[in-house]
Structure 1
C-alpha cells in the first residue's frame, strides 16, 4: 500500500535531471536531504535521516533509493521508519512550492 501511494505521488512529477548542491540533491522537482548520498547512473542512494520532498508530500525514512529512469517521474524505495506527510495543495501553495523547486 505504501509503495502504491508513493508511486502514485511520484507519477505527477516531471522527467528528472540530477543536480547536486552541497548536502542536498535535486532530481527534477524532487529534493533530497540525507547524511550521505551516492549516485550510480540513474540510481540515487540516500542514507541516514533522509527527507524526500515535492510540492505535494514529504517522505522521511532511514534510507531511500530513487530510480530516475523508470518512467516520467521515477520510483522510490524507502526503508526503515518510513513516514509520509501529504501536504495541502491550494492555488497559492502550489504556486509557491513550484517557485521553490525551480
Structure 2
C-alpha cells in the first residue's frame, strides 16, 4: 500500500537545504532518503526516520534535526546522523503529513520558508 505524504526533510550536510516534499512514504522511499535501513523516533503527533546505522557507518551528524527535535519537545541525549525525514502520525499507525506546527518551527529555527 502506498501513502503519499508531505514530509519535512532535514539533510545532515549544512550545504543542503531543509525542504518540504510530497513523497510516497513507503519503505523503499524512506530507505532511499536516509541511505539505508531505517529507525524511527516518535514524539506526540510526529515521528522522524533516520538511518539505523548512521553512527556506525560515519554519516555526518545532523545538528539541525537534533535541534528541531529538542525544540519540539523531544529530550534525548544523542547525536543523530544522516538525513532525517519527519512525518506525522496517522490513524492506526499509518503515515501522515508532517504536522504544520513542526514545519513552522523548522522555518523559524532555520530562517527559511518551507511552505509545501
Relative contact order, CA 8 A, sep 6+: which one is greater?
A: 2
TM-score by length of 1: 0.29
Q: Give 1 or 2: higher helix fraction.
A: 2
